[in-house]
Structure 1
Amino acid sequence: MRSNRWINVMVCVVVSAAATSCGAGGAANRTADGKTELTVATFNEFGYEDLFKEYEAAHPDIKITQRKTGQGAPHHQNLFTKLGAGSGLADVEAVEEGYLSQVMARSDQFNDLLEIGPKEVTPDRWLKWKADAATTKDNRLIGYGTDIGPLAMCYRKDLFAQAGLPSDPDDVKRLFATWDSYFAAGDQFVDEVPGVAWFDSAAQIFNAMHNQHDVGYFDKSDKLVVESNPDIRSDWTAVTTAVARGQSAKLTAFSNEWNTGFKLGRFATKTCPSWMLGVIETQAGPENTGKWAVTDAFPNGGGNWGGSYLTVPKQSKNAAKAAALAAWLTAPEQQIKAFQAKGTFPSQIDALESRALLEQVNTYFDNVKAGALFAAQVQKVKAAQHKGPADGQIQENVFAPALQSVEQGKRADDAWNTAIQEAKKAAK
C-alpha cells in the first residue's frame, strides 16, 4: 500500500502544472492568476512572514495565504472543530505539543509525511525526542517539527538595579539557581520596588515548573495523574504562596493587558522558552531596547516548554505541494531564519550545530549570543515530557483559570479542588 501511494504522489508532482491535484480534497485551489494557493494556519509567532515571501519568490506558481491566530487555544479549537466537520482546514496546520496527542489520536485524518513529503526529509534530521512525538505506532510521521522551547530566564536589568539586585547576566545566576532562590529574590524585589511585580502571571510560572517534571498531567499510559502527582501540588503551593506575597502582576498571558505590561514595565522577570524572546521584543517595543536581558540560568536546571509541528490534513487539496512547503519551512536554514526573526528555536540537528545559529546575536537583549545560549539549554533536555489526551486543555482551560482565580482572591485550596474536578472532566 505504501509503495502504491508513493507512486500516486510522484504522478501528482509530475503533473503539477495541470489544473487538478492529487491531494485528498480533489481540485486544487487556484488564484485568479492561476497560481496554486496554499493556506497555512499558525498561532502566536512562528517567524514565517518573510519566509513565505522567500518561498513565493522561488516558486512563482505558489501563493501562500496565512491564517494566524493570536493564541494557541482558539487555533486548536478551530482545528478540531473542522476535523470533525470534515472541511475548512488549511493545507498546512500548525499543532502545538500540548495538543499533539489529540492529533495523534486522529492520525488517520492527516497525511503521512514520509509518503507525500520530499523523500530526503527523514525523521533523523530532528532531535530524536522531537520526531518520536509525531510518529505513530505504525511509523507514520504526522508532523514536521518546527521549534522547541528550551528554558532560560529573562529579566529587566534596570528594575533589578532599582531593587538593589545584581543585573549582569552572570551575576544574576545565583538568584535563579532554584525555585526557592527565585521566590526569595522576588520577596526582596517587591519590598524594594513598590508597584512592580516580580513575575507576570502565576500560570506562566506554574507551566514552566510543571514542564520540568518527568511526569506531568498524564502518565505514559495516558492515565490522568493530576491529583496523585506530588510535583504538581508542590508547584501549585509554591506559586500560590508567591501570589499571596504580592509577587504576581496578575496578568493573563497574551491578553492586551499582558502585552501592555511588557511595555510599561509592570513585572521584572519572565520565564523564557526561546520563542518568548520574539514575544517580548514585539510587546515591549523599541523604547525598551537594552532593558531586557536573558541568562542561561533557570531554576532547578532547565526544561522544554512548547514547540510545534506542521501537519498536512487529508482535507488539503494540495497535499504534495503543502508537504513540500512544510518541509522547506522546517529545514535547518529556515529554522535559523525563523529563530532570528522571532526566537523560535530550531529542532533540527544540523541547525543546532550551525555556526549561523551559534554566532547569532540578539541586539534587543543586550547583544547576547542567543543562539549559543539556547543551544546549551537544549543539552539539559534529555526527553520531552509526555503530553497525554487533553493536556493542552488542562494547561490552558483548567489550571490557568484556576491560578487566575487565586490571583483574584479565591482561596488556593478551593481553587485547587476546582482544578482537580475540571481536569477530570477535560480528560473524559
Structure 2
Amino acid sequence: MSYFYLKPAKGDMPIHLLEEIILKRLEYLKVLSRGDSPFYNEYVIEGSVHDNVGHFVLCILSALAKSTEFTQFFLNAEVMLFRQRIFSLSAYDLRCFAKKLLHSIRKLDSVSVTEPLLTLCTCLSLKSIASHICCPSHDDDCAYYNIKVYFTHCLSFVAQRQVEVCKGIATIPCGKWKKYLVSLFKSSLLLRISQSKQYLYEKDPRMIEILLIVKKIFRIEKGSDMKILRSKEVDKSVQYFPPCMLNLHQHLRKTHRLSHDQRFYYSLFLKDIGMPVEEAIEFWKAEYCQVPTGRHKCTHHWEKDEKKFIYGIKHMYGLEGGRKQYSSLNCTRIQNMETCQEGGCPFKSFDNENMFQTLQLQKYSEPLLSQIFNFKEKKLYTSACLLSLQYHTKTEINCDNMTINFSPVKYFTLAYEN
C-alpha cells in the first residue's frame, strides 16, 4: 500500500481504534508542523493500513469541519510528511515506492494527476535512474534525465520559471523530480479533500464523534473563535455539564473543597472544555480562599498553599514538571474508580434516591425515568447518561454508537452545540 494515498483501505475497524489512529496522527502532524523532530508513532508507519486510514479519515474530517485554518494545517502538515518521506528514500526504496504507485495507478480511472505521475514513476522504477536520483552528489540543477508533461500539470513550476515550456509541453529535469512528486501529492490531496462526499458522513455518529474531538483540539467553533471558559462563567455553563461533573461542581460550591483526585479530574475537565490556565488559577483561588464547610477532610487553604496550588494547576496544563499533556477521564475510567467522598458516576455510585435528587429527575417523563433506571440496573451507566443528554438537548442520539469511549467532555460538547 503506497503512502501517496490513491486508494483507501477496505475493511472494518472498531470506533475506539479509529479514534486512536486519528488522534495519534494529529499529534504527529502537529509536532512535524512545528519543525520539531518527529517521534515514533505506530499509526503513521509508511504504507501501513493505519497510515492509510488515518489520512483518508482526516480528509473527510477536513471537509466536514469547514474550517479554512484546519484544512490549511492538515494540507501543509501532510505535504511536509510526504516530503520528508520522499527525500529520505534510498534508491531501492524509491524504486519500490514507484512500482507500488504504478500498480495503484493502473487500477484507477484516469484523472488529471495520474498521467504525469505515471510518466514519472515509470522512470523512477528503473534501477539506473533511481540510483542516479538518490546519489549524494545529485542536485537540483541536474538535467541528465528529463520527462515531458503538459504545462497544466506543473503550473507551480511554470509560474516560478523552473522548467522550459515549448508548445505547451514542459520539460522537467531529474534534479526537480522529487519536488515534482511533492507537488503532485499536494494536487492529489487537494482533489481528495474537495471530492469527499460530505453528505455520506454528516449524520454518521462515528464521524460526528471524532469531528467533535478534532474541533476541541483545534478550537473550531461555529462561526467564531474558540469558546473560552472564564472562571466567573462556570455557573452559567453547568447547564451543559454531564451529571458526574455537575455533581463535583455542586459539591465544590457547597463545601468549597474537593478531595485531591476529584479536584484533579474536575480541573482537567474544565481545561478540556476551554478554561485557560490563568482562569483556572482564578477559579480555584476563589474557592480555596474560603473557609470549608461541612465535614470535609481537606485542610488546604490558598493563603498558605498558594505556590503549591499554582504549580499543580500549571503542571496539569503541561507548563511545569515533565510538561506532560494531561487529558480528562472518559466514562469507563470514572465508572471503574472506587466510590469517593464526592461520588463518581451518579448512575453507578448513587442509590436511586440520591441519583433522583442530584440529577433532578423529577423533570423527566415516566417512560424516560423507567429507561434510565433500567440501564442502571443492567450496569449500562453510559447509556443512562446519554439518555439524560438526549432529554436536555432534545436531539436524537444513537446510544449504541456513542457509548464506546464516551467522556464528560464529549457530553459537554454535544450539549453545548445543540
Report the TM-score when normalising by structure 1: 0.21
Larger fraction in strand? 1
Larger fraction in helix? 2
Report the TM-score when normalising by structure 2: 0.21
From the CA coordinates, give the structure whose radius of gyration is larger. Answer: 2
